[in-house]
Chain A
Amino acid sequence: MHTMNNTFSLHRFGLLFKKNFSANSRRVLKPLIIISAIYVILKVLLCFLGYVSMTTFISMMNIYIAFALLVLMTPFLFYSKFNDKRYGIIEAMLPASHLEKFFSKFVMLVVLFPVLFILIIIGLDYIVSAFFGQPGSISVMHDFITEHHDIIEQLTILNSYFFYFIVSLFALQALFLLGVHFFKSHRVSKSIISVLILSQLISILAAPFTIKMLPEIMEKSKIVGTANPTNLMDMINNITPTWIFNYQLIVAIFEILIAWFLIYRIIKTHKYY
Chain B
Amino acid sequence: MINVRNLEFSYPKHLVFSGINIQLEEGKIYGLLGENGVGKTTLLKILAGLLKSSNGECTVDGVNPFKRTPEYLQNIFFVPEDFPIPSSSIKRFVDSIAPFYPNYNATLLNDLLKDFDLDSSKEFTKLSMGQAKKAFISVALSLQTKFLLMDEPSNGLDIPSKAELRKVISRASTENNTIIISTHQVKDLENLIDPIIILDSEGILLNASIEEITNKLYFSVETTADKDALYAEPTLAGVSEVKPNNENIESKVDLEILFDAAITNKEKFIELFK
Task: List the A side residues contacting B80 at CB < 8 Å.
Answer: 86, 89
A-facing residues in B67-104 (Cβ within 8 Å): 68-74, 76-78, 80, 82-84, 86, 96-97, 99-101
A245 on the interface (CB 8 Å rule)?
Answer: no
Task: List the B side residues contacting A19 at CB < 8 Å.
Answer: 96-97
Q: Known A4-B71, A15-B100, A271-B52; judge A93-B84 contact (CB<8 A).
A: no
A86 touches B100 (CB 8 A): no
Task: List the B side residues contacting A92 at CB < 8 Å.
Answer: 49-50, 68
Nearest CB of chain A from residue B64's CB, rounded to whole Å: 12
Contact with B83, one of A4, A86, A97 (Cβ below 8 angstroms): A86
Output the nearest chain B residue to A8 by Cβ-Cβ distance.
Answer: B70
B-facing residues in A62-90 (Cβ within 8 Å): 85-87, 89-90
A94 touches B73 (CB 8 A): yes
B49 touches A93 (CB 8 A): yes
- The secondary-structure label for the interface of chain A is loop
Task: List the A side residues contacting B86 at CB < 8 Å.
Answer: 90
A22 on the interface (CB 8 Å rule)?
Answer: yes
Q: Known A19-B97, A86-B83, A87-B84; judge A97-B48 contact (CB<8 A).
A: no
Q: How far is the CA of A96 from the CA of B71 in the complex (A)?
A: 8
Task: List the B side residues contacting A100 at CB < 8 Å.
Answer: 70
B101 touches A273 (CB 8 A): no
A-facing residues in B44-61 (Cβ within 8 Å): 45, 48-52
Q: Known A90-B86, A93-B77; judge A271-B100 contact (CB<8 A).
A: no
Nearest CB of chain B from residue A30's CB, rounded to whole Å: 13
A93 touches B78 (CB 8 A): yes
Contact with B50, one of A4, A94, A272 (Cβ below 8 angstroms): A272
Task: List the A side residues contacting B72 at CB < 8 Å.
Answer: 95
A90 touches B69 (CB 8 A): no
Q: How far is the CA of A87 from the CA of B124 in the complex (A)?
A: 14
A12 on the interface (CB 8 Å rule)?
Answer: yes
Q: How far is the CA of A95 from the CA of B99 in the complex (A)?
A: 10
Contact with B51, one of A6, A87, A271 (Cβ below 8 angstroms): A271
Contact with A89, one of B52, B69, B84 (Cβ below 8 angstroms): B84
Nearest CB of chain B from residue A184's CB, rounded to whole Å: 14
Q: How far is the CA of A96 from the CA of B73 in the complex (A)?
A: 8
Output the nearest chain B residue to A89 by Cβ-Cβ distance.
Answer: B50
A220 on the interface (CB 8 Å rule)?
Answer: no
- 10 more A-B contacts (CB under 8 A) besides A19-B97, A86-B80, A273-B11? A6-B69, A15-B100, A89-B48, A89-B80, A93-B50, A93-B68, A93-B76, A95-B73, A97-B69, A271-B51
Give chain B's interface residues, CB within 8 Å of chain A.
Answer: 11, 45, 48-52, 68-74, 76-78, 80, 82-84, 86, 96-97, 99-101
What are 28 contact pairs spanning A and B, CB under 8 A? Answer: A6-B69, A9-B70, A12-B70, A12-B100, A22-B96, A85-B82, A86-B80, A87-B84, A89-B78, A89-B80, A90-B86, A90-B97, A92-B50, A93-B68, A94-B73, A94-B100, A95-B71, A95-B72, A95-B73, A95-B74, A95-B100, A97-B69, A98-B68, A100-B70, A271-B52, A272-B50, A272-B51, A273-B11
Give me the 6 closest cross-chain CB pairs, A-B, nearest first.
Answer: A95-B74, A95-B73, A272-B50, A6-B69, A4-B71, A95-B100
